[in-house]
Amino acid sequence: MKEIQIHIQTKIDYQTGEVEEWQHDYKGTLYLKNDQDIYLKYEDHQDQLGKTNTILKWKWSESPTKLSLLRQGETRSHQIFQEGKPHQSFYQTPYGTFAMEIHPLKVKIYSQTWEEGKIELEYDLSIGKQKVGRYQLMVHYRP
């Protein structure tokens, strides 16, 4: 297990035409299990929703194309990102549970070693049957 620095940039293009962007820095942990599964873990603090443990998981390979995102805490969800493959799940908050669907357009993981790299995600998000917007995330992690 390694202590790491995580920098996340997010951009959301909402269906309403509004654009939201932000950046956050976190301290987290990274570990390699069975010489193939990489887990990146950090605690997210959202003002209205409290603390949530977030885990990103993917296979260590030359060209990983699938990423899982698990959120546990005040909010709970499990999303699977694989280009071109929609994924349906639920988003649980203290205010209720919502059906959610993602349509991943881009899933890229760049790394020379398992200990440092960059993740790029781009996807469309729908809550219920209504499209919320297009999300772009860039996650940089390093010791």
Tell me the C-alpha distance between 30 and 19, whole Å: 31
Cβ neighbours of residue 16 closer than 8 Å, sequence gap 6 or more:
none
What is the Cα–Cα distance from 75 to 124, expressed in whole angstroms? 20
Domain that holds residue 122: 2-142
Residue with structure tokens 């790029």?
120
Our count of domains for the chain comes to 1
Distance CA 99, CA 33 (A): 31
Higher pLDDT, 37 or 61: 37
Tell me, yes or no, if the pTM score tops 0.85: yes
Tokens found for residue 14:
């909402």
Amino acid 36: pLDDT? 86
Q: Which of 45, 41, 4 is nearest to 22 (CA)?
A: 45
- Report yes or no: 138 and 118 within 8 Å, Cβ to Cβ: yes
CATH code, domain with 21: 2.40.128.20
How confident is the model at residue 41, as a pLDDT?
97
- The pLDDT score that the predictor gives to residue 51 is 84
Q: DSSP E strands: which ranges in the chain? A: 2-14, 19-33, 37-46, 50-59, 66-73, 77-82, 87-93, 96-113, 116-127, 130-142
18-57 per-position pLDDT tens digit: 999 999 999 999 999 988 899 999 998 765 667 899 999 9
User: So what's the pLDDT on residue 40?
Assistant: 97
Residue 32 near residue 40 (C-beta atoms within 8 A): no
Model confidence at 114: pLDDT above 90: no
Q: Is the Cα torsion angle 93, 138, 30, 81 positive or negative in sign?
A: positive
The whole-number pLDDT of residue 61 equals 72
